[in-house]
Amino acid sequence: MTDPRHVVIIGAARSGTKLVRDALAGATGVGAVPYDVGYVWRYGNENHPDDAIAPEQVTARSHRFIRDFVDRYALGDPPVVIEKTVGNAMRVPLVARTFPDAVFVHLLRDGVDVVESTRRQWFTKPDPRYLLHKARHFPVRLLPRYGSKYARSVLRRRTVGDRRLGSWGPRYPDIDDDLESRDLLTVCARQWSQSVCRARSELRRLSMPVVNVRYEELVLDPLEELTRIAEACGLEATLDHTRKAERSISPARTGAGRHALTRTELTTLDDEIGDLLAEISYRRPLSRVSEEEQ
């Protein structure tokens, strides 16, 4: 069998990575890993305190395990697989070492929308049906290493004031210290900013193809953007499949985060991520909301 090609989607949690994965796979007929598989990427580093795992921390055996797991989902001729795990924004060099043939799709979304959505996710109860479906893909060999730890983390996800026991989403360095000393909105802002900054910095260093995508442009014109992304990844997107995938992308109301957050919260975000938003050509949190978005 021909070795699969790899398309890796890099983006912060709640940026639309799942939407891009499913739509791109649907438009091109290639395979995709159906869930985030952070536990696979942490194979051999289960006790590492965060997701910023360097390539030199990973053994050759672990690299083989990750590749073998991802490649089982490859489809097509030649076979291709799309992978997206939001924690990978913290460890791009490791992903590049594991899949040296990869095309990276770097997805950005307005950080205010992301942070507001992320904070809500921290308080969302785990969906038993989702957990059951995901468990079916859980590697049996990881049960002794990770299974009981994962089960405990799910059971501990209960609200305590404005905190959760455990954590949700990408773990940046020092996240546990921030959970003790900072409000949850700030932690969510740092999850987004660390994901964006680490990914941008490391992707620039790679001599590998990177396709840049903005969530807002994708939902505004899904057909054109899906076609562009597919072509840039070297994939063939048929018009019929692309139109079908387009229908799965709802016209999202961008800018909703600024309406959902209070002015005090927007001020907190402006201090925390305002400069980064401006640097990547998004409005600062306290910028005036246009009449079209009201």
Tell me the backbone φ, ψ of residue 163, rounded to 5 degrees.
-120, 165
pLDDT band of residue 2 (cuts 50, 70, 90) is: confident
pLDDT band of residue 153 (cuts 50, 70, 90) is: low
CB 16 within 8 A of CB 109: yes
The per-residue pLDDT for 3 is 83
| 245-260 pLDDT tens trace | 998 888 777 889 999 9
Largest Cα–Cα distance in the chain? Answer: 57
Query: Under 8 Å CB-to-CB from 161, ≥6 apart: which residues?
Result: none
pLDDT band of residue 293 (cuts 50, 70, 90) is: very low
DSSP symbols for 178-244: HHHHS-HHHHHHHHHHHHHHHHHHHHHH-SS-EEEEEHHHHHHSHHHHHHHHHHHTT----HHHHHH
pTM of the predicted model as reported, rounded to 2 decimal places: 0.88
Query: Under 8 Å CB-to-CB from 127, ≥6 apart: which residues?
Result: none
pLDDT greater than 70 at residue 290: no
CB 14 within 8 A of CB 121: yes
Average pLDDT over residues 39-48: 92
* Domain with 215 in it: 5-293
DSSP symbols for 36-82: --HHHHTTT-TT-SSS---GGGS-HHHHHHHHHHHHTT-BTTTTEEE
- The Cα 294–Cα 290 span in angstroms is 7
Number of structural domains (the chain) is 1
Buried b (16+ CB within 10 A) or exposed e, 1-15: eeebbbbbbbbbbbb
pLDDT band of residue 150 (cuts 50, 70, 90) is: low
The per-residue pLDDT for 213 is 98
For residue 134, the domain's CATH number is 3.40.50.300
| 57-87 pLDDT tens trace | 999 999 999 999 999 999 999 999 999 999 9
| 260-287 pLDDT tens trace | 999 999 999 999 999 999 999 999 999 8
pLDDT band of residue 14 (cuts 50, 70, 90) is: very high
